[in-house]
């Protein structure tokens, strides 16, 4: 099956998650054995024409190489990822029997990404992303921070997460922070920091899969981890009214109304802000075995 991710209408970001898991569901339904992913270039330096950050084609190229392509390798049925021009994919379509999204045409590209698609996948119990070479580490808790320069109201409350880290450390846990790639990590002095995980997606996945628990605010990396059955995670601060795609109307339209869950026992959504008391109470109630005192 050929799955076409068209950069004329789709972003080179963690939004690729929805496309990837939907392609896998279609592969299962159609009885195909494998998926080839075709990444088709867009009109603006290879990407779509929009004003969404980051809109520098060079930065988008880095995201394509560091997020989209390695994420595709997490899907066991994906045997190849090919970059194609519009003319090349048009020719390829002439011989393909099964194409995703259904009805895709090079002249009229169709986007297929968004929260609803991985919500549906999770509720259908299709969690297809897998990482290998994982070494479990007892008592490891990983905290992923969002510290972006755009839509800062979505960012992690670092001071509160430091309080959480201190409490978990007192319980005998080894806390590792994964800072945002926009951060130098200086505010995390005194704690273990895994900077490689900020930019190396497969390393991030191995770290997450090795941990007893992963914690973060609403961001792309945690939604990717939610599609991995090896990973236990909890996500906070879902709503930010002044940022796109994170308000109650958006979540309702994408089949995840405020207060709802993905129906995964080992991935929990906390529809509250990321203050230390809220975080600690939620993880004590949701994952007591993972955060109890090591003593």
Residues 248 and 154 placed together within one structural domain of the fold: yes
**pLDDT at position 55, please?**
87
Is residue 25 within a helix (H) or strand (E), and if so which, with residue range?
helix 16-30
Residues 168 and 89 placed together within one structural domain of the fold: no
Instruction: Using the 3D structure, point to which of 113, 130, 159 is the last residue of a domain.
Output: 113
Question: Is 135 in contact with 210 (CB distance < 8 Å)?
Answer: yes
**pLDDT at position 8, please?**
97
* 125 in any annotated domain: no
Question: Is 173 in contact with 292 (CB distance < 8 Å)?
Answer: no
Residues 282 and 196 placed together within one structural domain of the fold: yes
* 168 in any annotated domain: yes
* 66 in any annotated domain: yes
Residues 21, 11: Cα–Cα separation, whole Å: 16
* 76 in any annotated domain: yes
Angle at 188 between CA 184 and CA 191, to 5 degrees: 125
pLDDT, averaged in runs of 10, over the chain (295 residues): 98 97 97 98 95 91 97 98 96 95 94 95 96 96 95 96 97 96 86 96 98 97 96 96 91 97 94 97 86 58
Query: Which residues make beta-bridge pairs with 293?
Result: none
Residues 109 and 161 placed together within one structural domain of the fold: no
Residues 100 and 12 placed together within one structural domain of the fold: yes
Question: Is 164 in contact with 145 (CB distance < 8 Å)?
Answer: no
Residues 189 and 272 placed together within one structural domain of the fold: yes
Residues 180 and 283 placed together within one structural domain of the fold: yes
Per the structure, the count of domains in the chain is: 2
**pLDDT at position 217, please?**
98
Cβ partners under 8 Å of residue 72, min gap 6: 16, 20, 37, 78, 81
Residues 50 and 99 placed together within one structural domain of the fold: yes
* 8 in any annotated domain: yes
**pLDDT at position 241, please?**
81
* 214 in any annotated domain: yes
Residues 108 and 171 placed together within one structural domain of the fold: no
Phi-psi region of 143 (alpha: psi -120 to 50; beta: other; left: phi over 0): beta
Instruction: Using the 3D structure, point to which of 59, 94, 113 is the last residue of a domain.
Output: 113
The residue written with tokens 């009109």 in the block is: 43
pTM (predicted TM-score): 0.94
Residues 191 and 51 placed together within one structural domain of the fold: no
Instruction: Using the 3D structure, point to which of 113, 148, 167 is the last residue of a domain.
Output: 113
Which residues span the domain enclosing 41?
2-113
Q: What is the CATH number of the domain that holds 192?
A: 3.40.50.2000
* 199 in any annotated domain: yes
* 132 in any annotated domain: no
Residues 75 and 149 placed together within one structural domain of the fold: no
Interstrand relation of 78-84 and 99-100 (parallel, antiparallel or unpaired): unpaired
Residues 151 and 218 placed together within one structural domain of the fold: yes
**pLDDT at position 152, please?**
93
């Amino acid at each position: 099956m050929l799955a076409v991710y068209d950069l004329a209408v789709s972003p080179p970001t963690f939004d690729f998650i929805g496309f990837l898991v939907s392609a896998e569901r279609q592969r299962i339904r159609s009885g195909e054995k494998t998926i080839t992913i075709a990444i088709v270039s867009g009109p603006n330096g290879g990407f779509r024409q929009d004003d969404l950050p980051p809109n520098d084609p060079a930065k988008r190229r880095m995201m394509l190489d560091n997020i989209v392509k390695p994420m595709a390798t997490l899907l066991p049925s994906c045997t190849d990822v090919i970059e194609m021009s519009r003319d090349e994919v048009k020719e390829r379509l002439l011989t393909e029997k099964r194409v995703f999204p259904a009805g895709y045409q090079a002249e009229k590209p169709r986007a297929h990404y968004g929260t609803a698609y991985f919500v549906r996948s999770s509720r259908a119990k299709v969690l297809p992303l897998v990482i290998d070479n994982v070494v479990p580490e007892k008592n490891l808790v990983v905290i992923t921070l969002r510290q972006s320069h755009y839509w800062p109201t979505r960012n992690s409350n670092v001071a509160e997460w430091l309080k959480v880290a201190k409490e978990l450390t007192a319980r005998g846990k080894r806390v590792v922070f994964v800072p945002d790639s926009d951060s130098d990590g200086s505010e995390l002095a005194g704690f273990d920091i895994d900077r490689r995980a900020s930019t190396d997606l497969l390393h991030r996945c191995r770290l997450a899969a090795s941990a007893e628990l992963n914690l973060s605010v609403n961001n792309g990396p945690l939604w990717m981890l939610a599609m991995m059955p090896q990973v236990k995670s909890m996500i906070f601060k879902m709503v930010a009214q002044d940022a796109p795609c994170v308000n109650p109307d958006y979540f309702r339209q994408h089949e995840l109304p405020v207060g709802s869950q993905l129906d995964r026992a080992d991935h929990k959504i906390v529809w509250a802000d990321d203050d230390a008391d809220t975080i600690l109470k939620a993880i004590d109630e949701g994952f007591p075995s993972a955060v109890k005192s090591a003593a």
